[in-house]
Every structure is written in C-alpha cells, then in structure tokens.
Amino acid sequence: MGLIAAAIAVGLGALGAGVGNGLIFGRTIEGIARQPELRGTLQTTAFIGVALVEALPIIGVVIAFIVMGR
C-alpha cells in the first residue's frame, strides 16, 4: 500500500508541475507577443514562477520517501 501511495504522490506532483510550467510559459509567450518591450521582465517573472512550481514535485518525492520509510 505504501508503494502505491508513493507512486501517486510522485506522479501527481510531476503532472501538476508539467501543467503549471506549460501555463506559465504559454502566458509568458503571449505577453511577450503583445508587449515585446517587457520581454526581460516577463522572462524573469516566468523563471521565478517555474522555480516555485518545481517545488511541488520535490515535495511529492519527499512525501514518497516518508511513506516508504514507514
């Protein structure tokens, strides 16, 4: 049962991060297309957002290790 819980935690974390990264970069490209002069600001904001989104799968892996340790 612990293996299934760990797999679900990691899988959902990766799925959520993939969707989040896609949305962030999609909206960033739309913003750059609309206002090219804000390219640097939008890219910086996008990279910060991606860094925060990538914390989700890391937390999922940590939860998986905790579940597997019991």
8 Å CB contact between 3 and 68: yes
- What are the domain boundaries of the chain? 1-68
Quick one: angle between helices 39-53 and 2-34, nearest 10? 170
**pLDDT tens-place string over residues 25-43:** 999 999 999 999 999 999 9
Distance CA 44, CA 38 (A): 10
| pTM summary value | 0.81
| Residue of 1, 11, 2, 3 lying closest to 60 (CA atoms) | 11
Distance CA 18, CA 65 (A): 21
The CATH homologous superfamily of the domain defined by 1-68: F1F0 ATP synthase subunit C (1.20.20.10)
Most confidently predicted of 10-14, 39-43, 64-68: 39-43
pLDDT at 60: 87
